[in-house]
Amino acid sequence: MHKLFIRSFVSSLVFLFTLTVAAVAKDVKAAFVYIGPTGDHGWTYQHDVGRKAVEAAGFKTTYVEGVPESADAERVLRQLANSGHDVIFTTSFGYMNPTNKVAKEFPNVKFEHATGYKREHPNVATYAARFYEGRAILGTIAGSMTKSNVIGYVASFPIPEVIRGINSFTLAAQKVNPNIKTKIVWAFTWYDPGKEAEAAKALIDQGADIIAQHTDSTAIVQIAEKAGVYAFGQASDMDKFAPKAVLTSVENNWGPYYVERVKAVANGTWNQKDTWHGIGDGMVVISDLDPSIPSNVRSKVKKLQADLASGKVHAFTGPIYDQKGNLMVAEGKTADDGMLAGMMTYVKGVEGDIPK
Amino acid sequence: MIIDVNFVGLIIASIMASAVPLILASCGELITERSGVLNLGVEGMMIIGAISGFALMTVTGSLIIAVFGAMLAGVLISTIFAFLTQTLITNHVATGLALTIFGIGISAMIGKNFVGIPGKEFPVIFESLKDTIPLLSPILFGHSIVFYFAFALPFITSYFLKKTKIGLIVRAVGDSPEAASNQGINVKLVRYSCILYGGAMCGLAGAYLSMIYTPQWIENMTGGRGWIALALVVFSTWNPIKILIGAMIFGGLTIIQFHMQAIGVRIPVQFLTALPYIVTIIVLVVISRDSRKIRLSTPSSLGKSFYKDN
């Protein structure tokens, strides 16, 4: 009787042990927290494309969409950590504090926070993409192809990420065409097709013949197509929405990073770090160039793309002046990451003030 | 900057284009409210119209099916509201809010497969006349049929309410359902019809957004325009012609503000976003000082349930 009991006890222990080992080695579960709906065809949509890459690599994934950047975020994170997820990606800046707070309570769960800078616990890593490198490419094309020398730019919110993009775009455009002006319209939304369309239309009516955007919907490229001006796609390749207008798009490519990090969790090689990848690492991708771009511009673009990728050229190379003519970056120097992360002033050549 | 007439014409044309969904939804809601029913589900009915129109256009390829399908979808979803408030006598406010939440949710669910698909181009009429008259051509020509319908609708609505017998019945039901019922009018039938008509117009307003204004589907793409349309009905003191003016002001605020930004004039954006609601409150305060005017313009039984014992 006793023997039987001990045998069954031992065997069940062994069974449990194998189960646990199996769970640790194979069934790594990743969770993704999104600020918007996966149907936004912009920021969240691209993160979800990355999630699907993780799924394709053989891992289980879960996602929660439309999570507000408030106490709700903490609740969602706690629930995901409690329900057996090994790594949680939080894909919006505003999740920074909730991520760190919940990470403290779950030291065995890894947290990956996008676009933030706080890593208060050893299980929190941060990652972001150098989209400004892509915008330097767009600026080069815009500066070469504008006829009116007025370039419109629909911006979302006055935060360093967006201002960095405007500056990088303008600097690159000035390099090929010193006469250009960048007109900015702040839409104060990340996606509202109607509003974005109205903003783009206002810029076109005021003489802009190329429209760049830092909002997420495809409304702007559609308006450009109707008005017969050029535009650039944002976050994903928007060419099919406006085949004539879209010269190229800057794509957010999170997939490779997500797969790499989830694999690292599975292998036990995950470590805390801050990742800021650009064109070189493939996190920022330039879509196919439109046939309407002339070959001399094309070769200029290809060269810049290669130089940005190799690190030979930095998008913020001095001398760079602000709107009042004060030196921001000295000749021969490049802006360091700290300066880029906190950039809240326009460079010379951008029109207007940053709204407060 | 030199202001030339064509530039002004372009600005007015874009303001009018942005006013179209507001006019359609408000005129629909106005009829509903005139019959004494307060339907706060405008945003929900619009978003249902937006996804239905876009989905039908993508699946069938027919713009006519899509436009009428969107209106039908608006009718169907408002039928739920009508059944709850008129047959089951639920509270108008709570049911309307639920309708909005329901509409946003279900449209997102249906819309999952329609994200990232470019819409079809909607035909415009009189485009060949676009460069004939300075200032007026961009305003008058080269728009979709829905655009022209929207600008005719307030006048049709006004005529309907003031000059037709059915219009009189609708107003009677909204002002005093008891009296109307005693006169042998089927209050429930009138209110049902008005709710369904409102649903159809909201569906059309949504379809305008997803098929004509910005031909694409994105979750929540109505972006609060349903709430502005609701405010507009109050702003207009239930007068369709004033809806036309209000929609131009409300729609124009954003566009003028974008133009000012591009020129370099700064206005706090938060203030402009709140302006339609502030203006509505001011209008309410102004009209509420005159109790006679209120009695004349507000449907007296607005938002009150009516049921007959029999």
Is position A349 within any domain? no
CB burial of residue A241 (10 Å; 0-12, 13-18, 19+): buried
pLDDT value of position B117: 87
Q: Which residues contact B10 (CB under 8 A, 6 or more apart)?
A: A205, B138
User: Could you tell me if A321 and A180 lie in one domain?
Assistant: yes
Looking at chain A, the whole-number percentage of residues with pLDDT higher than 90 is 78
- Determine contact, residues A112/A87, Cβ cutoff 8 Å: yes
End-to-end CA distance of chain B: 71
Which of 211-230 (B) contact A at CB < 8 A?
213-221, 223, 225
Within 10 angstroms of residue B226's Cβ, the number of other Cβ atoms is 28
Q: Would A173 be classed as within a structural domain?
A: yes
B76 reaches A (C-beta below 8 A): no
Give dist(CA B233, CA B246) in Å, integer: 9
Q: What is the pLDDT of residue A191?
A: 80
Residue A305 included in any domain: no
Quote the strand ranges of chain A, DSSP E. Answer: 29-33, 60-64, 87-90, 110-114, 124-129, 150-155, 181-186, 210-213, 230-235, 246-252, 274-277, 284-286, 320-321, 327-329
Q: Provide the ipTM.
A: 0.85
Query: Residue A121 has what pLDDT?
Result: 96
* pTM for this entry: 0.85
Q: What is the DSSP string of A236-251?
A: S--GGG-TTTEEEEEE
Q: Is a pLDDT exceeding 70 seen at residue A8?
A: no
Q: What per-residue string of b and e applies to B38-51 under the rule 16 or more CB within 10 Å gives b?
A: bbbbbbbbbbbbbb
Q: What tens digit of pLDDT does each residue of B157-189 get?
A: 999 999 999 999 999 999 999 999 999 999 999
Cβ–Cβ gap A186/B223 under 8 Å: no
The DSSP code for B119 is: P
Q: Which of B127, B211, B214 would best serve as a mutation to test chain A binding (most A beta carbons within 10 A)?
A: B214
Q: Are residues A246 and A268 in the same domain?
A: no
Q: How far is B188 from B161, CA to CA, in rounded Å?
A: 18
Contact A353 B266 (CB under 8 A): yes
Shared domain check, A141 and A79? no
- First vs last Cα of chain A: how many Å apart? 79
User: Which residues are A250's β-sheet partners?
Assistant: A234, A286
Distance of CA B206 to the CA centre of its chain: 9
Task: Spell out the domains of chain B, with CATH numbers in brackets.
Answer: 5-297 (1.10.3470)
User: In this model, does residue B273 exceed pLDDT 90?
Assistant: no
* pLDDT score recorded for residue B270: 74
Residue B241's pLDDT is 95
Residues of A in contact with B216 (CB under 8 A): 41, 193, 217-219, 222, 241
Residues, chain A: 356
Residues A110 and A64 in one domain: yes
Q: What is the pLDDT of residue A244?
A: 95
A51: domain CATH number? 3.40.50.2300
Contact A206 B223 (CB under 8 A): no
Shortest Cα distance from A301 to chain B (angstroms)?
27
What is the rounded CA–CA span in Å between residue A205 and residue A168? 25
Residue B108 forms contact with A (CB below 8 Å): yes
Residues A135 and A121 in one domain: no
> Looking at A32-46, A63-77, A303-317, B170-184, which range is the least confident one?
A32-46
- pLDDT tens-place string over residues A188-207: 888 889 999 999 999 999 99
Mean pLDDT of B112-120: 86
Angle, to 10 degrees, between the axis of helix B187-207 and the axis of helix B5-34? Answer: 150
pLDDT score for A107: 96
Position A309 in a domain: no
Q: Cβ of B101 under 8 Å from any chain A Cβ?
A: no
Residue ranges making up the domain that contains A35: 23-129+254-277
Q: How confident is the model at residue A9 (pLDDT cuts 50, 70, 90)?
A: low
Residue A12: CB atoms within 10 Å: 10
Q: Compute the average pLDDT of residues A231-237.
A: 92
Range list of H helices, A34-130: 43-56, 71-82, 96-105
For residue A178, how many other CB atoms are within 10 A of its CB?
10
In this structure, what token pair is assigned to residue A19? 């189960």
Domain count for chain A, please give it.
2
Q: Looking at the structure, do residues A136 and A237 belong to the same domain, yes or no?
A: yes
- Whether residues A230 and A151 fall in one domain: yes
- Together in a domain, A207 and A328: yes
| Residue type at position B149 | F
Residue A8 domain-assigned? no
Contacts of A201 in chain B (CB under 8 A): 14, 255, 258
Q: State the nearest Cα–Cα gap between B259 and chain A, in angstroms.
A: 5
Contacts of B111 in chain A (CB under 8 A): 39
Residues paired with A329 in a beta bridge: A320
Q: Which of B79, B272, B259 is nearest to A204 (CA)?
A: B259
Residue A290 lies in a domain: no
B22 to chain A, any CB pair closer than 8 A? The answer is no
* Same structural domain, A195 and A135: yes
Q: How far apart are CA A182 and CA B139, in angstroms?
A: 29
Counting one residue from chain A and one from chain B, the pairs whose CB atoms sit within 8 A come to: 108
Residue type present at position B90: T
Give SS3 for A183. Answer: strand
Q: What is the DSSP string of B187-204?
A: HHHHHHHHHHHHHHHHHH
Cβ–Cβ gap A185/B263 under 8 Å = no
Among A54, A156, A47, residue whose Cα is nearest residue A92: A47
